[in-house]
Structure 1
Amino acid sequence: MFRTAFIAGVVALACAPAWSHVSYTGRDFGSFTGLTNTSVTIANQAISGNFGWADATDADWGDSHKARWFKFTLDHAADITITAAAKANATSSSVGGLVPAFSVYQGQAPITVDAEGVSSLSYDTSTSSMAWRATLPTAVEGVWNALGDFKIGNDAGVLGDLVHVGHSADGLGALGDGSADGLTSATFRLAAGTYSIVIGGNVYDAQNAGVPGNTGNFGLSATLSVSAVPEPSSVGLALAGALALSWTARRRTAR
């Protein structure tokens, strides 16, 4: 009976959603040269709770478990437009009503693989994360800082730097866009490098018991669009051409 219960427990853990560790599985937009225009959408995603991002904006930060992590790589500088949208039927168990918000960071949460092929994922209470948290001047709920830089690591002792680039939020609060329509989008000019997009809900009070809709998995989809940045030489030629045309037009007018 003990062996049967133990096996059942192991199977249950293996089948449970991996909310407790940062994973990019199924959420890698890919690698882009940055020299051509393209767009990629990742759907069928869900977030536990509708408050993770909002909670990570306050002084004691938030729990990275309440977010979904996406990543991408740029070979050259480009304009990147990121859109997060509520999607009620994203999964078989997800619900609607997400008020999406996201933060963009240069860097990624470390994932290491040992000699036996066992992966060590990053999370808020890992050995390296807790060692870093002990150096902070005040106690925090988790490592996720939605409005600034932070670090996160794994039990293999690898700590990663997440450098805040910018953010965007749906909703009626001070940080929201004032619409609460289940959609938020922003464009960033990014240098070559690896990046993370961390998406969560923007309803701060939804973490309190008794608030309607504070539980469940909220469906979402995310879209990343790449727009090539014109080379400086091309911009210079275009400006020279425009000046030449303007000069010619003025001469004709004078005549």
Structure 2
Amino acid sequence: MRHFWRRFLAFWIDYFIVLFLCSAASVPLVKAGLMPPLMTVNQSSACETLKAGPIRDRLMSAFARHYYDSLILADCEIGTWPYGSKRQIVALASRGSRENGTESRLTFVLTRQPDGSFRPADTLSQNASLAVFYVILIGYLAVFSAGGRRSPGKRVMKLRVETVGAEPLSAPLALRREALKIAPFLAATLAAVLVPLTPLVHRLPSEPGIGLAEAVNRAYALGEWYVMLPGVLAGLLFLAVLFHWFFASFDHDTGQLDYETFSGTRVVTP
């Protein structure tokens, strides 16, 4: 397979370079609570059982209506890079009997906000941030593909991109090529933003001040199988599309993938 694995590695080198740069640039926005983190590296974590008090009482009260047989609560301080530390309440709830195979479990995290309120995961904001990241990734790859230039990943792997006529790529052609390449990633994230497959997940409010009991009730909805099933099926479809786009469509004779065939480009050694 002509240059296949070298190109595969070159792509992921560039992917993680852009991910690192975007994560570093977004630190002030994440710390201000304006966007979720794109990438975190856990440096430390310290958890202890949530002690008796108003917070635990309110959590127990919120869970009581859901008839859980057991509830484990932990108060954690998580240190991450590059965003610093934050306090979280981690809950593991279960109900049913293990013997008859009907036990269901729910694990989720409530993040303590600067104003003292709690908020469950905001899937909508996360997907919107990812969509922006993929647009930036397209621009990054297009800049390095146009005019005979090479991205850091392709430079390391000793590869370059040209047209099928062995000419350097123009800026519009480079943009078209990279947009086609990243299309499955971008389409998946935009679909989650514009056409939510799981409304109970994506209608979580993002404004501050959500009470603890309300956050628990909303996070509880994330654990129901019928809420998560559409997302699981969409994820499997997304993986199938990725497999075809980046593996199954590889032409052994020309060394092209589908997005290169559509854009009239190819990858060669310098």
TM-score when scaled to structure 1?
Answer: 0.21
TM-score scaled to structure 2, two decimals? 0.20
More strand by share: 1
Q: Which has the higher contact order (CA 8 A, sep 6+)?
A: 1
